[in-house]
Chain A
Amino acid sequence: MGKNVLLADDDQLLASLLNFRLKKGGYTVHHSVNGKEVKEYLENTMPDIIVSDIMMPYFSGIELIDYVRNELKSNTPIIIISSAGNEQNVLTAFELGANDFITKPVSPTELLVRIAREIDK
């Protein structure tokens, strides 16, 4: 069984491409488009890794890190996707316990390498 990836991104286009690449890479992907769905999913399942955009309806990527680390008390690796040029986001994300950070435009190949690195740790 492939490792489970939770992909949280409301950008259908980018998500479709990443979804495609992750599946090709042997992962099982669950894709959510907003914070609410993410929360519901995480209440029942803990994936092997979470990949999330910072900007999301209802529940930002930053809030997601906080929720996973502090409420669910989980150490599941989290990779945050965000636009370039927002240093504060990077700092906050790492402070709250994000494992890695990748800036847009996202190279799917790069993301896969980073995911593999986190899971294999």
Chain B
Amino acid sequence: MSISKTKNLLGQLSQLERTVSEFSFEELNAAEAKELKSSFDIFRSSLERHIYTPKSDLIFSKKKEVCATENQEISEKQFITHVSHEIRTPLNSIIGYANLLKEEKLTRGQHKKVDAIQFASNTLLKLINEVLEYSKLSSGNNNFETVDFNLHSLLKDVMFLCETLILDRKIELLIDIDENVPKIIKGDPSKLSQILLNLLGNSVKFVHQGFIKLEVFTKEQVNNECLIEFSVADTGIGISKEKIKTIFKGYTQAEDDTSKKYGGTGLGLTITKEIIDKLNGEIEIDSTIDCGTTVMFRMPYAIGNATTAPRKSSKQNTKKKNSGLLAGTEILVFEDNIMNQHLIVEQLTKWGCEVHVDVDLDKGLYLLSSRKIDLILMDLKMPNQNGFEVSKAIRDHKNSKVNSVPIIAFSADFTEQDSKECQEIGINDFLLKPYTLDDLMSTIVKHKKLNSEHTDFASILQKPMIELKETTVVNLNNLLKDCFGEIDMLNELLKLFKLNAIEFIGNVKVHLKTENLKEIALSAHKLKAGFAMIKADGMRKLIVEIENSCKTNQPEKVKELYEIFLNDYPLLEENLNIELDKMNKK
């Protein structure tokens, strides 16, 4: 099974690759384009490594073929889970960068190509998710929830999602919920939505005109237990009697050319049936070719308790015009994948957030106590560090300013165990990668701390000497004048400037270890001229402060100031680049 799936995956992949190579990156000349491309390369090589390396999970090597079928199945499943997880992360970058590209000023042709990249990568993502889901289900790894939930609002949500799928076609979407259907029931709401979306999604795919109807009623009710029947009826192309017999087996779409014409992985119904079976439900299909199909399933539920069912939070409108919602929000991101770092910084910055990216717990704690961080985004599965542990350290911190900042976790894979652990630690929410921009924004809006009673940086350092924002300001007008308006010279000088700054960062880091304050003072001294040139007066003051603190032998203060420099310098450089860009364009 996994071999055919992998072939399918490779097919999708080369499709994606074709689209990407058709895309004219030179023409675009945007940093995102390059990132997109490299994301893709990483993605591809990671996939290839897993498929072709004999040392990997070995399912394609000869040795394994002689193994018992059972073992092979297990290793196949592990392999699939592993690969799916690993390629989701770079795929996340591809989708993310494609989203960003779309916000650039593109020609119509470019726009179309970005659309194609998005389409191909989303298809691939769906495929991977389905493969992952299937392998989880069939390996019994899937845990089900039992919680009270509002069935009516779940149905409403599902219908809303379907409406968005059929917006421009002549299909009516109907829903009929019988009065006898209880409002609150106990069970697994996410699995129910998944089943319904699968079935309704199928209908949307195969119906060209007519209607799709969802009917829900209570078939039986004894005391606190009820059996609810759902039926999805459509006027689609229908399925022949013979095909119905095999339809729940994996990878058997009704006609061989079905997948070519209608797309999809052919796993949807298999997954649906597996879920229903595991929840002690039953499913039936009735269909007539060219007339339509009705899928019915019955599920046992307990009547729920209204008081414990979570109230649905009102949906945030996250259209672009509302991006001002986040302006000025300070966010600390724990993420150690460089690509994802860039991506999230770029997006959050576009929304007007101030972003600090960190991988180091101590530095993060320092930032949390010295700045007024509104929110933390935490990658739970960083290669070198455990996001759970970092979160726990933050929650256990004795300073209430540090331990009360909301934490939103994100991960490409989120198990129930993870969810439990999140709750125990006190992580406020989570996002499953790849998340959409809307998800990201609404989650942040929901959790960001509105009341910022933090003390500011000045009081931490006792002696106020620098206005914070000031440290990122630059002005290149004078320097351009000094260059007689020669932009090439300006570019060259700024290149040197950046090198000096990087050298400074490195030097100080080295000398802080040995507390060689003399060397640090010298380094700081040398850097002053550069900041004077670009009229970065705030940053220059900070550098002078560093130099003076060295001379008065205050290593702790030097460290604190250096941290601020590390934080603010990237913002300054960004401002510098923006200014330079403007001048280059003139």
State A88–B186 Cα separation when bound (angstroms).
83
State A16–B486 Cα separation when bound (angstroms).
13
Q: Please report whether the interface of chain A is mostly helix, strand, loop or mixed according to DSSP.
A: helix
Q: Contact at B492–A16, with CB atoms within 8 Å?
A: yes
State A107–B479 Cα separation when bound (angstroms).
10
Q: Which residues of B contact A83 (CB under 8 A)?
A: 525, 528
Across the two chains, which residue of chain A brings its CB closest to B535? A105
User: Of B483, B493, B497, B532, which is within 8 A of A104 by CB?
Assistant: B532
A14 CB to nearest B CB, Å? 5
State A110–B25 Cα separation when bound (angstroms).
46
Q: Please report whether the interface of chain B is mostly helix, strand, loop or mixed according to DSSP.
A: helix
Judged by a CB distance under 8 angstroms, whether A70 is at the interface is no
Q: Which residues of A contact B489 (CB under 8 A)?
A: 17, 20
Judged by a CB distance under 8 angstroms, whether A55 is at the interface is yes
Decide yes or no: A17 and B493 within 8 Å by CB, A12-B500, A24-B484, A109-B482 being known contacts. Answer: yes
State A35–B471 Cα separation when bound (angstroms).
34
Across the two chains, which residue of chain B brings its CB closest to A15? B496
Interface size on B, residues (CB 8 A): 19
Judged by a CB distance under 8 angstroms, whether A13 is at the interface is yes
A interface footprint on B520-562 (CB within 8 Å = 1, 0 otherwise): 0010011011101100000000000000000000000000000
User: Of B482, B496, B526, B533, which is within 8 A of A21 by CB?
Assistant: B482
A114 CB to nearest B CB, Å? 15
Q: Contact at B525–A105, with CB atoms within 8 Å?
A: no
Interface residues in A71-100 (C-beta closer than 8 Å to B):
83
Q: Which residues of A contact B532 (CB under 8 A)?
A: 104-105
State A14–B525 Cα separation when bound (angstroms).
13
Q: Contact at A13–B482, with CB atoms within 8 Å?
A: no
Across the two chains, which residue of chain A brings its CB closest to B540? A105
State A55–B492 Cα separation when bound (angstroms).
24
Contact size range, A: 10 to 19
State A104–B489 Cα separation when bound (angstroms).
21
Decide yes or no: A11 and B526 within 8 Å by CB, A16-B493, A16-B496, A105-B532 being known contacts. Answer: yes
State A83–B526 Cα separation when bound (angstroms).
10
Q: Which residues of B contact A106 (CB under 8 A)?
A: 529
State A96–B452 Cα separation when bound (angstroms).
59
Q: Which residues of A contact B533 (CB under 8 A)?
A: 13-14, 17, 105
B interface footprint on A10-32 (CB within 8 Å = 1, 0 otherwise): 11111011001100100000000
Q: Contact at A13–B525, with CB atoms within 8 Å?
A: no
Q: Contact at B482–A17, with CB atoms within 8 Å?
A: yes
Q: What are 19 A-B residue pairs whose CB atoms fall within 8 Å in the complex?
A: A10-B526, A11-B526, A11-B529, A11-B530, A12-B496, A13-B496, A13-B497, A13-B529, A14-B529, A16-B493, A17-B483, A20-B486, A20-B489, A21-B484, A24-B484, A55-B522, A104-B528, A105-B532, A106-B529
Q: A20-B486, A20-B489 are in contact. List 20 more A-B contacts (CB 8 A).
A: A11-B529, A11-B530, A13-B493, A13-B496, A13-B497, A13-B529, A13-B530, A13-B533, A14-B530, A14-B533, A16-B492, A16-B493, A17-B479, A17-B482, A17-B489, A21-B484, A24-B484, A104-B528, A104-B532, A105-B533
Please report B residues at the A interface, Cβ cutoff 8 Å.
Answer: 479, 482-484, 486, 489, 492-493, 496-497, 500, 522, 525-526, 528-530, 532-533
Closest 6 CB pairs of A and B: A105-B532, A13-B496, A14-B529, A13-B530, A108-B482, A20-B489
